[in-house]
Amino acid sequence: MTDTVVSSATREVVIGFERPFVIIGERINPTGRKLLAAEMRDGDFSRVETDTITQVAAGAPMLDVNAGIPLADEPGLLAKAIQLVQSLTDVPLSIDSSIVEALEAGLAVYQGKPLVNSVTGEEERLERVLPLVAKYGAAVVAISNDESGISEDPDVRFEVARKIVGRAADYGIGREDVVVDPLVMPIGAMGTAGRQVFHLVGRLRNELGVNTTCGASNISFGLPNRAGINAAFLSMAIGAGMTSAITNPLEPEVRQAVLAADVLAGRDPHCATWIRTYRVPTETARRPSRRRG
Amino acid sequence: MTDTVVSSATREVVIGFERPFVIIGERINPTGRKLLAAEMRDGDFSRVETDTITQVAAGAPMLDVNAGIPLADEPGLLAKAIQLVQSLTDVPLSIDSSIVEALEAGLAVYQGKPLVNSVTGEEERLERVLPLVAKYGAAVVAISNDESGISEDPDVRFEVARKIVGRAADYGIGREDVVVDPLVMPIGAMGTAGRQVFHLVGRLRNELGVNTTCGASNISFGLPNRAGINAAFLSMAIGAGMTSAITNPLEPEVRQAVLAADVLAGRDPHCATWIRTYRVPTETARRPSRRRG
């Protein structure tokens, strides 16, 4: 049993084998969102505020924050976004950048213990990101690719994950603070993408004892009715043992698939969250009050 | 790899590890449907006709037919229902009764190779049902309970299934013609019900080499938003290796969860069925023709 504890100044969230699945809200990310990118570059963070509030209201227990805008001051923008989001909500954050200076700027302002997203198995990344994770006492997402790219063989990806966990230990980062991303490929392009992930998640859990996460929406890239594929993928990934995912909590089908899979995997004792979320309101509760009318 | 082949006079359906999941439409069953029961007892089979046509139109590749009405002539009603359904559709049928005489009456009129639903591990049932299955060259659903009832231990249920497969072999019925039902309990009453089934399905497939089926809707008994639980359960069961289920093809969420899980389990090559089902019609196809207006 491995518990990854992340926190804000006032709230802890635990990612773990026997815990409810953790949805990390994916919306605060200008990649592929031209309007958001343009606004953030101009210092207008109003959409970041909205994305924070709506995702937390939809039940996301964590949020990912990314400020990857070409030719912009990404470290400055990411630090500003993190401070803003933390002023609006107490859910813990994932600090998301491919630029090490931006990760450091985000870590420097973050209140609590964040998830650093991410490190890969590439030597240069390991040597730059892991010391930062250790310095700030954070947890880290480990993506299972290295200098040779993304292997189509999930057992090769497993070995990359094992290497990262070993290197993290050298820096004093325990395996409970390494959350492995097995890498989700589009099923429309690679028919084995689903089975690869389910197989790899099982090995990561049983042999390496680590928690897992992924960019779940990748699975449905290019297909119609993406929410339908995403929902089934998350249910099946939870069945295979996955413990968190970076995805869109605003899709009702995704949220429902996650909550139902928690029930079926025995992670929602007495179905309490399911019943609270989906019970039909009583007639009294639904009917507008006549007395006030 | 185990293929269970069932057929009507003109169509074959294969239940198998690498095949698309087979939904066996559950609607033609008077249990819990008072109106249908009263009509069938009075010889009015119009609702059976409707249930046949709508389930096949919704994509069910097989239908279950049950005529279990207290104090009625179940053998006669079941035979009549089967003849009627076979006059309306060529999808293969599951002949469903707890009364051996009714199973025999159904088998006597059936055109093709049906699925007999069901035999249990009880000695008296084995000795009466298996000779019938052998005589008519049918396949059979094996329910994993016996004289001692339904064990809460899935490994005990596995041993019951193993016993039935062994006894079937004594009658010349190969394991490819035994489809095991691991027994789905309501998750609201037994929090381990989901994990039990997923564990058992894996053992049945890997150790016993048999196909599996279940009454999937049981899982959500007593809970709100049953379709949401049923959908996630089916996706996860397919991920665990289940190959068919008796369920309601008229629930769009159930059908979507099954088709998506087929994609993710690699059972829908090139996502062809998914794309055909869910692609957005082109503007031309959606727009009412102006020329005719």
In tens, the pLDDT along A111-129 reads 999 999 999 999 999 999 9
d(CA B56, CA B137): 25
The pLDDT of residue A293:
34
Give me the total of CB pairs closer than 8 Å, taking one residue from chain A and one from chain B.
128
Of the candidate ranges A118-127, A243-252, A275-284, B236-245, the one whose mean pLDDT is the lowest: A275-284
A218: buried, middle or exposed (CB in 10 Å: 19+, 13-18, 0-12)? middle
Nearest to B17 by CA among B236, B182, B262: B262
For residue A282, what pLDDT band results from cuts at 50, 70 and 90?
low
B214 touches chain A (CB under 8 A): no
The answer to whether the beta carbons of residues A226 and A193 sit under 8 Å apart is no
Best mutation site among A271, A279, A286 for testing chain B: the one with the most B CBs within 10 Å? A271
Nearest 10 degrees: CA dihedral of B227, B233, B236, B242? -110
The pLDDT of residue B151:
87
The answer to whether the beta carbons of residues A80 and A102 sit under 8 Å apart is no
Residue with more model confidence, B150 or A45: A45
The pTM (predicted TM-score) of the whole model is 0.92
d(CA B256, CA B6): 24
Average pLDDT over residues A70-82: 96
Please work out, in degrees rounded to the nearest 5, the angle formed at the alpha carbon of residue B47 by the alpha carbons of B45 and B49. Answer: 75
B274 touches chain A (CB under 8 A): yes
Task: For chain B, state the CA radius of gyration.
Answer: 19
Structure tokens at A98: 């491919």
CATH, domain range B3-268: 3.20.20.20
Across the interface, whether the CB atoms of A260 and B192 are under 8 A apart is answered: no
Of the candidate ranges A63-67, A281-285, B92-96, the one whose mean pLDDT is the lowest: A281-285
The pLDDT of residue B282:
61
Across the interface, whether the CB atoms of A238 and B236 are under 8 A apart is answered: yes
Across the interface, whether the CB atoms of A278 and B228 are under 8 A apart is answered: yes
Nearest to B95 by CA among B120, B124, B75: B75
The pLDDT of residue B87:
98
The answer to whether the beta carbons of residues A134 and A96 sit under 8 Å apart is no
Which residues on chain B are in Cβ contact (under 8 Å) with A200? none
Nearest to B119 by CA among B33, B179, B175: B179
What percentage of chain A carries pLDDT values higher than 70?
96
Name the closest residue on chain B to residue A258, using Cα atoms.
B232
Across the interface, whether the CB atoms of B236 and A261 are under 8 A apart is answered: yes
The answer to whether the beta carbons of residues A28 and A250 sit under 8 Å apart is no
Give the side-chain half-sphere CA count within 13 A for B101: 7
ipTM of model: 0.91
- B240 Ramachandran zone, left/alpha/beta (phi>0; psi -120 to 50): alpha
Closest partner CB to A266 (pick from B195, B238, B280) = B195
Question: What is the residue-level pLDDT of chain B in tens, covering all 293 positions?
Answer: 899 999 999 999 999 999 999 999 999 999 989 999 999 999 999 999 999 999 999 999 999 999 999 889 999 999 999 999 999 999 999 999 999 999 999 999 999 999 999 999 999 999 999 999 999 999 999 999 999 988 889 899 999 999 999 999 999 999 999 999 999 999 999 999 999 999 999 999 999 999 999 999 999 999 999 999 999 999 999 999 999 999 999 999 999 999 999 999 999 999 999 999 999 876 544 554 444 43
The pLDDT of residue B1:
80
d(CA A52, CA A70): 23
Q: How far apart are the two ends of chain A, measured CA to CA in Å?
A: 55
How remote is the C-alpha of A260 from its chain's centroid? 19
Across the interface, whether the CB atoms of A274 and B223 are under 8 A apart is answered: yes
Mean per-residue pLDDT of chain A: 94
Can you point out the beta strands (E) in B87-243?
A: 93-96, 115-120, 139-143, 178-181, 211-212
A189 touches chain B (CB under 8 A): no
